[in-house]
Structure 1
Amino acid sequence: MYAKLELNTFRIIRNNFKNLIIVTALFLTGCSLTFPEPDASNQTILIIPVETRQTLDLFVFTLDVSIEDSKSKEVIHHTIEPNPKMLFSYNTQLKPGKYKITEMNRKAKPGFKLGGKPRPERISEIGEFELEKGKITIIDKMFLFQQPKPGKKRERKDMRNMTDAQRMQERKKQKAERKAEQKAMKEQRVRFAQVVDLEESFKTKLLEELKEVDNIDLWKLE
């Protein structure tokens, strides 16, 4: 009986050990990126270079960009997700032709709010580009994402038991603190999202990352 129990215990440990090896291997190797295969729905691949400089634990927004067909003037919306581990965002749903990226707009992720009233920003830095059938096209500009470091959170005081004079004094103090915070944010000179030149060194890293895509050989890479 004891021998049978020991045998069953050994089998359980052995199976768990095998599972642990498999999980560890998957964890260490990770999952590689795969592009859709070229077909009627996926005729082109647009690569938008992206650099994410993260100062907070996570980004609270995504960026919606408007891609306009130069011929039909149809606008296609593409969402870019800030991610320090990715050097690009891509779209495979555009037909061959000439396009422009005309506008960008920050949108809060579910459960978060953005300060102020984010409004669409016109984009003039990115020139017209052409997408060709079966080819990967990389635009010559880059989206740079940043989030400024927040200052120390202000404590709100309970003013219910204050006199009118004390309330007025407290409101003046809070107003001064808000102005100081806004000034500190401006001094960081950080824009949440902006279009900048694509540096050659960054493009080299991007191309190396693209070459790691499993089925990259199905597409023509410039």
Structure 2
Amino acid sequence: MALTDEAITRIRGLIQSGELPPGARLPTEQQLSHQLGLSRSGVREAVKVLEAARVLDVRRGDGTYVTSLAPRLLLEGLGVAVELLRDDTLLEVMEVRRMLEPVATGVAALRITDADVDRLGGILEDMRGAADDAEQLIRYDAAFHRTVIAVTGNETLTSLLDGLSGQTLRARVWRGLIEGGSAHVTLNEHEAIYLALRARDQLLAQASALIHVNTSESWLRTVLAAAPRQHR
């Protein structure tokens, strides 16, 4: 492991220094091993780790390349990690969302275009039409929030919040809302966010998003409290 860790650090250093920029092809395993002064097995394992982290792209029969290193690519694994979190840790995820999402929504209010407003309005209508269809509501809910955050133009923030809003987490909240007969409450909260964004009102958009995240967190607490202890 020590040799692998050293190889990862050395390869990462080549990328960070610009010697291996995004899109660059790595030397062969033998060449890289000689260049770094490390064993081929250590280099091989390091490449596997960096491939899993989406830093490298191994193309069979072609070579190994540095990826685009775009935030959406490097942060893609966050969503997988959130899906694996235990119930008691999911509330920490909601806390992070409460710190980030309202501020991001406020920024979106300053940058939103008429086309973005129309797109959000269409998603909101789809949500209303989905009524008590949990699967549809979950899909439209994800699209609504992804669209709002994407308006900020901050790809890192968009990827981060998308990862924190895992499919399983979203599904548990929505099913709790539907079973509790409160889906209309969160639909109204989505409309409040939409209206604030349409008005380009930063403070109102931020406040509306905070209320919405708080509602989601409250319902998650309710769902977790009712869950069998073995799932916690």
Does TM, normalized by the shorter one, top 0.5? no
Greater share of strand = 1
TM-score, structure 1 as length reference: 0.20
TM-score, structure 2 as length reference: 0.20
Greater share of helix = 2
